[in-house]
Amino acid sequence: MNFLTILPMAVVMVAGTQLVAAVFLASGDRPRRASGGFLSGAAIVVFAGTTLAWLVFRVVKGAAGGGGHGRVERVIDWVVLGLLVVLAVVVFVRRHSAGEPKWMGRLQHARFGYALRLGLLLFLVMPSDDLTMVAVGATAARHDLSWWHLLPFMLLTLLLLALPLLASLLLGDRADRVLPRMRDWADRHSWIISEVVVAFFLVLTVVDLLT
């Protein structure tokens, strides 16, 4: 397994409310500053959360010693498998809970500080994000991947989150038509893509258990 395998999990990180919020910020009064704050908050959580998960499972595996590596790897595989099953259930249960909560109306006028706090809280309190970060960090540690192998996953997560801002900057007036479509798609269909990605990762984990 390499970093390309965990890369698709970045889609699960931003699907739904996170991407919808990014669209609102990109189409607001201060698109650059607000989106920059949101991305900064998200980056702090994604980098810290994934790194912490990687460190914890790496320490656990190292503490087992050479003779116990195989047993610890199997335990980690079971932990990841359990996390993925829970993640699939969470994504499915929340498929109709996406939408535009009342607080999203304030995002049109959000400042950098508010958007920063939103990025921090949104990625901290979302169970799907927490489960994804732990699953990715644990998988990387289980396969002895160095920390830098996590960087593509982290950077792709932020790139996907930055798509609304990039669309706004590159498309100009046309973004007024593109961004609502992006928001509606994320609101209605992103959970399906998330489930496909989780299922793919789950199959890989089962393969690890069977080998």
CA distance 138 to 93: 24
The pLDDT of residue 148 is 93
pLDDT along the chain (211 residues), means of 10: 78 84 82 91 96 92 66 84 88 66 69 91 88 93 91 95 86 70 68 79 81 73
Residue 162: its pLDDT value, please?
93
CB neighbour list of residue 73: distance below 8 Å, 6 or more residues apart: 61, 142, 208
The pLDDT value recorded for residue 154 is 95
What's the chain's Rg over C-alpha atoms?
A: 18
How confident is the model at residue 66, as a pLDDT? 57
Q: What is the pLDDT of residue 186?
A: 67
| Residue carrying the six token digits 């982290």 | 154
Which of 59, 88, 52 lies closest to 76 in space, CA to CA? Answer: 59
The model's pTM is 0.83
What is the number of domains present in the chain? 1
What is d(CA 153, CA 137) in angstroms, rounded to the nearest whole number? Answer: 10
Range of the domain at 178: 3-210
Residue 97: the pLDDT is 59
Structure token digits, residue 117:
């706090």
